[in-house]
Amino acid sequence: MPKVTSTISKKEFSRRRKMLMAHMEPNSIAILPSSTEKIRNRDADYPFRQDSDFQYLSGFPEPESVLVLIPGREHGETILFCREKDRDREIWDGYRAGPEGACSTYQADDAFPINDIDDILPGLIEGRERVYYSMGRDQQFDQKVMGWVNAIRAQVRSGATPPGEFLNLDHLLHDQRLFKQAAEVRIMKKAAEISAEAHCHAMKVCQPGMYEYELEAELLHTFVKAGARHPAYNSIVGSGKNACILHYIENTRQMKAGDLVLIDAGCELEHYASDITRTFPVSGKFSAEQKAIYQLVLDAQAAAIAVIKPGKHWNDPHEVSVRVITEGLADLGLLKGDVDDLIVEEKYKQFYMHRIGHWLGMDVHDVGDYKIEGEWRVLESGMVMTVEPGIYISPDDKTVAKKWRGIGVRIEDDVVITKAGCEVLSGGVPKEIKDIEKLMRKKK
Ligand code: GLY
Ligand code: MN
Ligand code: MN
């Protein structure tokens, strides 16, 4: 397994900041806070994860930091406030870059101790007409921004000019993050490869009698061994009827021969997510009913992927998947009536109640609008999305024959839109019935 090192270059971070600043209104300033450390219980913290917007623009890995971008500022446009170096704290908690390191290693033009921010930042905001920040995401930070602006307002009789306008940074920044550069796609491909390997491994070791969490352990082991220290979201390992709970994360049930198990798990690598779902038989062989539902989901996914290319709308693959699934459910007798009517009346939602997917990037449900001025967004090269149709037949759905009840299937892959069409990043794990059964015969 390759050793993981950061592959986003300083030049790329600088390019991102420049691009954002080029789109900001004249005479403006942008302010972005880092993530804060979060307590899990008493004095034990959750693992620290940098805020995606902050990471995207700075690459600076520490909490208690604030990034300030001031386009056109003579003494430098990128300013970082961060913790000072502190020998004692560094012995206990680890390395800190300090303001000096923020400049030398992370290319800030200026850097100051975070404890001095209340004294310094109002002076940087003063004279700028517009302030961009992510409003309403963090109440404490909202109050701080107001505090800095009020400090300037208090000085108006001495000639200070407070900003007159607040703008939401999310619109500009999130649209930029939606389009992945080559270096980002490379990382996402590697993340998907690691996750695909983990899913293959889970298929190989799966046996009746194992607990769901044992498969979770195998997934996490593969992630961490490859240098992807954290899953991009809580792993779902749902066997039997648990596969019908869309976000099942208890993972405590003992699996039995005859069950399907649905695994929705993906690692995060260098702050980029992967998101893969596979559903397979615990014993290694699909039953006739499982096969019928599985093949239908697989056909819906293939049909959806086939329409993904620049110029199509965000909703097109969803609509295609709805048609394939509705026709298939009608053929199997699970839905009754005319297919067009079933679609218009959304009867398929009894079994397929979510949408085809979501943007994927630094966040698993990544940023970026799905509609622009009320219309579904046009797909463009560089966007990355998941394609994840599913069919879930509730264990207590009395409207269907007993043999179908409790079957839950989802198949999910990660897809990058290219100039020519699209590329599946997560193809390293099988999904054809015969290929899954073959892999599961090759037990370790
Ligand atoms: N794993 C969350 C999702 O598939 O959206
Ligand atoms: Mn998923
Ligand atoms: Mn997903």
| 212-259 pLDDT tens trace | 999 999 999 999 999 999 999 999 999 999 999 999 999 999 999 999
388 is catalytic: yes
Nearest atom (ligand 1) to Cα of 233: 1
Indicate whether residue 249 lines ligand 1 (CB < 6 A).
no
State the pLDDT at residue 444: 52
Pick the catalytic residue: 270, 412, 413, 414?
Answer: 412
Pick the catalytic residue: 40, 42, 87, 247?
Answer: 247
Indicate whether residue 363 lines ligand 1 (CB < 6 A).
no
Between the CA of 276 and the centroid of ligand 2 the distance, in Å, is: 5
Pick the catalytic residue: 275, 316, 327, 413?
Answer: 275
Q: Quote the mean pLDDT of the chain.
A: 96
List C-alpha distances in Å: 180 to 187, 193, 223, 246.
Answer: 10, 18, 23, 28
Summarised one tens digit per residue, pLDDT across range 364-384 is: 999 999 999 999 999 999 999
Between the CA of 81 and the centroid of ligand 3 the distance, in Å, is: 35
437 is catalytic: no
Phi-psi region of 271 (alpha: psi -120 to 50; beta: other; left: phi over 0): left
Q: What's the rounded mean pLDDT across residues 99-111?
A: 97
Between the CA of 238 and the centroid of ligand 2 the distance, in Å, is: 12
DSSP conformational letter for 315: T
State the pLDDT at residue 3: 44
Which residue's CA is minimally distant from atom 4 of ligand 1? 275
Q: What's the rounded mean pLDDT across residues 253-279?
A: 98
Which residue's CA is minimally distant from atom 3 of ligand 1? 275
Nearest atom (ligand 1) to Cα of 358: 5
Indicate whether residue 275 lines ligand 1 (CB < 6 A).
yes
392 is catalytic: yes
- Determine whether 428 is exposed, middle or buried from the number of CB atoms within 10 Å of its CB (0-12, 13-18, 19+): middle
Cβ burial 211-235 (10 Å sphere, 16+ → b, else e): ebebbbbbbbebbeebbbeebbbeb
23 is catalytic: no
413 is catalytic: no
Between the CA of 324 and the centroid of ligand 1 the distance, in Å, is: 21
Indicate whether residue 233 lines ligand 1 (CB < 6 A).
yes
Residue 5 — pLDDT band, cuts 50, 70, 90?
Answer: low
pLDDT above 80 (res 290)? yes
Residues 6+ apart with CB under 8 A from 357: 317, 318, 385, 386, 387, 388, 412
Summarised one tens digit per residue, pLDDT across range 294-341 is: 999 999 999 999 999 999 999 999 999 999 999 999 999 999 999 999
Edge-first strand listing for the sheet containing 260-265: 236-239, 260-265, 276-281
365 is catalytic: yes
Higher pLDDT, 187 or 443: 187
State the pLDDT at residue 6: 75
199 is catalytic: no
H helix or E strand, kind and range, residue 264: strand 260-265
Q: What's the rounded mean pLDDT across residues 424-437?
A: 98
Q: List, in sequence order, every residue forming a beta bridge with 110; answer none if it has no partner.
A: 79
Nearest atom (ligand 1) to Cα of 266: 1
State the pLDDT at residue 443: 63
Nearest atom (ligand 1) to Cα of 232: 1
- Determine whether 274 is exposed, middle or buried from the number of CB atoms within 10 Å of its CB (0-12, 13-18, 19+): buried
DSSP conformational letter for 379: P
Between the CA of 379 and the centroid of ligand 3 the distance, in Å, is: 18
Between the CA of 275 and the centroid of ligand 1 the distance, in Å, is: 6
The ligand with the least distance to the CA atom of 385 is 3
171 is catalytic: no
Indicate whether residue 211 lines ligand 1 (CB < 6 A).
no
Nearest atom (ligand 1) to Cα of 365: 5
Indicate whether residue 212 lines ligand 1 (CB < 6 A).
no
Indicate whether residue 388 lines ligand 1 (CB < 6 A).
yes
Q: Residue 301: which of 199, 432, 192 has the closest Cα?
A: 432
Between the CA of 322 and the centroid of ligand 2 the distance, in Å, is: 19
Between the CA of 232 and the centroid of ligand 1 the distance, in Å, is: 10
Summarised one tens digit per residue, pLDDT across range 123-176 is: 999 999 999 999 999 999 999 999 999 999 999 999 999 999 999 999 999 999
Residue 442 — pLDDT band, cuts 50, 70, 90?
Answer: confident
pLDDT above 50 (res 60)? yes
- d(CA 81, CA 60) in angstroms, rounded, equals 11
313 is catalytic: no
pLDDT above 50 (res 2)? no
Summarised one tens digit per residue, pLDDT across range 384-424 is: 999 999 999 999 999 999 999 999 999 999 999 999 999 99
- d(CA 223, CA 217) in angstroms, rounded, equals 10
Query: What does the block give as tokens for 28?
Result: 């403006």
